[in-house]
Amino acid sequence: MLIPLNRHYLKAMLCVAAKEDVRYYLEGVCFVGGEGKLLAYSTDGHQMLRWIVCEDYQGSDFEYILDRFSIKRAIKSKYHVHLNIETAELVCAKDEDFLVFKGLIDGKYPDAKKVIARYVADTKTEKDPCVLVNGRYLENLGKISRIIGKSNAIKEPPVRLYSSKATDGYTNIFTLGGVSNLIYIVASLRNCNETYSEDYAVTMDAEARDAAIVKARINNGFSVECGTSRHSHKAATSYANSKSRVFTILTYDDDNFMDADGEIWQYVCPTQVIKQKDVADVKTK
């Protein structure tokens, strides 16, 4: 089985993977298949990236660590990159030409799933303020940290998100560890209200993501075509994909969704936005 891999995402994963580390197993990307998903992790012990490669994985469970050198060669080929599940090889193809890169690392990768699970449990009970910052500013903050560090005989002062307050949008104050005479202030981007995509990147909770999407569309004045179920989100997703039980959702409360016929549903999976919502279309039962 060949799983397509996005070259840009692979390159990003290498930004976090360790380099010349005694923990040699961190000098690559760990691919894990199971429970209907294929995930990739990279870490140097201080920072971590998790990539949801695909959400419809149907193969056998596996865990492979591929070294950074084989991944870099695959990226540089500029061919379409695939992971061969059976052989743990990277297969790069273009037209009738193909290349194969081997780089399997024999080692035990840290239990990244367990580390992330602790954070996910916290975010479900108490979510941090919605902060969305231009990545260019964070890059600039790193540059400032290195410059100020030279003046204070600190190689790289750690950066702290000191405060994030809702003052005409969120204003974020960053401080530098050990530096008492400098702060960095940056405003959050204004379009930071809808976070269901990022929420899913953290929690991988499809039910919560789909409910949030439907609610957001309704709040913006749209009705939403959805697969629906009173039993499970998995069933609603199946109905949405097959379009065998699809209804137009017009409104919702804390626990349920109501369609244009006044029927109540507990689980929804959106297919597409249909039209501007017309509340008069709702039939009372």
Q: Give the tens place of pLDDT for each residue, 100-133.
A: 999 999 999 998 888 777 666 655 555 555 667 7
Q: Quick one: pLDDT at residue 282?
A: 44
SS3 content of the chain, % helix, strand, coil (to 5): 30, 35, 35
Q: What is the DSSP letter of 160?
A: E
Q: Which amino acid is at 150?
A: K
State the Cα–Cα distance between residues 70 and 72, nearest whole angstrom. 6
Structure confidence at residue 283 as a pLDDT band (50, 70, 90): very low
What's the whole-number average pLDDT of the chain?
85
Q: Is the dihedral of CA 13, 16, 21, 25 positive or negative?
A: negative
Q: Tell me the three state secondary structure of residue 174.
A: strand
Q: For 187-220, how does the pLDDT look when each residue is reduced to its tens digit (9 = 90+)?
A: 777 655 567 777 788 888 899 999 999 998 999 8
pLDDT at residue 194, as a whole number? 63
pLDDT at residue 174 in the model? 85
**16 phi-psi bin (left φ>0, alpha ψ -120 to 50, beta other):** alpha
Residue 109: phi and psi, rounded to 5, are: -80, 150
Question: Mean pLDDT throughout 135-141?
Answer: 87
pTM of the model as a whole: 0.75
